Structure 1
């Protein structure tokens, strides 16, 4: 009888312990945030964001806007990571919450099984006047416009912005992949410039600010504009990070501060040139200022409608040309942050076609 009582008492204690554990688990589960729920307004102390945004870091710190993060209780672990391949690798290893990229990485993350959400958008105020890329042409190769691309060897990187630009260019020129030879390369500026200089490719998309460097290194090299918009700039995050209520609250603060930092860059180009292109990228003062000048002013779109439309067009093009499944671009964007950006930018939001 006593053993039975002991067993009963033990069972009650175990059950109570399980209930307590369950209650704690429910409390922890309460930290999860539905993607349709409003973003929290307060950040719990000790909330950490792991961000791969070197350019944003430089602007925030130089402008003093990083104080808004600290004042709100947001702790940031900055990572020297940018671009799609690095960020996706870090996401998969759960070493990063968000990263600053163009639009292509969010598509390839989805196609390779990594769920992400875009939480930040910025645009070039005059996107065709200040392109991100030009088409570099190898010395001795005759090409001065899109009509001259037929039969050329073109540097190509399937999973990055440069690769998507090449496909857009071919479409604009009325050409297909069969009309050219796509040469798969890792799309770093140096590798593309080296490929052009050595004659490994005839044409390659290179950053507009690298054109002078390319021509100085390889006399006879030329470049021309594409006439195609290529200014997409986003921050995308692991979906699990956005679904974490504490991190979502911190990201709300970060997006607002990052928005103000973009506007600060416009008003303080020389300071930004030094903070990022000199101190981080290692350019000399003249080159750093030139990069900022030819990059144009960046702005915050009043609405993400046009950006999402362009993302969908890119997704459809890549799905067709690269054999991917069709994606609904709206599933890759967290529009709760659209309002956060617009409110932070105020009257300086960009409207019209530029957005």
Structure 2
């Protein structure tokens, strides 16, 4: 099936980024494996970071928050920043041995495991009042009549396997009492403005859109009848994850522990300093205007970093079960995706900084 011009153009920056990652893996700056004794998965996390330790981190938003908050000057190790985000790019970087830490939602760790890449989640963040502060809304194409989830029957829906948006589509269908056979899933990557453009051109009838795309889509095409519908599900997971192999290196494990703590403090700083965050990240770094930045801050609401992952893992298991049933992949134990040695690190960092 032809994907149309939106698919082709959207892949160019992704392919370019992956080429750069492969090239990076062949340079002295690539992530290096430890040559010393391995750290057992049952051993306590080391707290001292040896001199000369370096992490390659793909977490662009946190980099800016660390710089603005001053946290970036407190690390006891060197950080090299990789300007990548999202599951597909992060997974490819892991495979190329060009990345130590990635920042994603809840689907990439599942997909990585299914494709033979063992990974571990080392941090989890959510949104307080997630139903009132959704990450995504269902964008509805101009002229398409969808007022409730039941109206999705028979519609063409954008679908991105291996990404959070794809899992959300499956969860929405389940909530509506529908299956994949009741709709037409159109496989498209959820990068950039691919989904808003696909909606505007009627390539699809429905697509999960997030961030500033929600505001811009309705602002640009609302006069033509474009709308959005709330899905009523929590879609707020945000995780840091690493290759399981990386945690066998005691030096990197200690550095990752330190990074997780700083990540938590930076997340809280961004929420407590909205004006500085809007200007420093959304305007100067992302090139948005102040109004768009304000919209995104209000949409995100207050971060929630739990000290207990029990409910987190249970919710993740529900998602895994839905994906396994719909994709034919083998069931996984959500518990196995988490390294619970890190469970209290982020929350404790916030207590210490209070």
Q: What whole-Å deviation, never above 9, does each CA across 1:282-336 have from its counterpart, x for those lacking one?
A: 1112211211111111121121111111111111110100110111111111111
Q: TM-score, normalised by structure 2?
A: 0.87
When residues 110 and 323 of structure 1 are mapped into structure 2, their CA distance, relative to the original with a 3 A threshold, is: same
Aligned match of 2:264: 259
Deviation at 1:189, TM superposition (A): 4.2
Q: Structure 1 residues 215 and 321 mapped into 2: Cα distance closer, same or farther (>3 Å)?
A: same
Secondary structure of 2:343's counterpart equals: helix
Does the CA-based 8 Å contact 1:209-1:294 persist in structure 2? no
Contact 2:260-2:345 within 8 A present in 1 as well: yes
Moved over 6 A (4+): none
Alpha-carbon distance in 1 for matches of 2:158, 2:269: 35
Task: Name the structure 2 match of 1:140.
Answer: 143
Map of 2:232 onto structure 1: 227
Q: Confirm or deny: 8 A CA contact 2:159 2:188 kept in the other structure.
A: yes
1:65 aligned to 65, 71, 89, which one?
71
Give the distance between the partners of 2:341 and 2:59, measured in 1 at CA: 21
CA shift at 1:347, angstroms? 8.4
CA offsets 1:128-171 (integer angstroms, 9 cap, x no match): 11000000000000001111111111000111000000000000
Q: How many residues of Structure 1 are paired with residues of Structure 2 in the alignment?
A: 319
Q: 2:193, 2:213 within 8 Å by CA — same for their partners in 1?
A: no
Change (3 A) 1:40 1:134: same
Counterpart CA distance in 1 for 2:131 and 2:155 is: 24
Structure 2's unaligned 5+ residue stretches are 1-33
- The whole-number CA distance in structure 2 between the counterparts of 1:281 and 1:315 is 33
Equivalent of residue 203 in structure 2, options 200, 203, 228: 200
1:312 and 1:175 map into 2 onto residues whose CA distance is: 21
Partner of 1:295: 300
The structural deviation recorded for 1:67 is 2.1
What displacement does 1:28 show? Answer: 4.2
| Equivalent residue in structure 2 for 1:101, among 88, 104, 127 | 104
For residue 124 of structure 2, give the secondary structure of its aligned residue in structure 1.
strand
Picking from 43, 48, 52, the partner of 1:46 is 52
Secondary structure of the residue that 2:193 maps to in structure 1?
A: helix
* Partner secondary structure for residue 211 of structure 1: helix
* 2:79 aligned residue (72, 76, 80): 76
Which protein is bigger by CA-based radius of gyration? Answer: 1
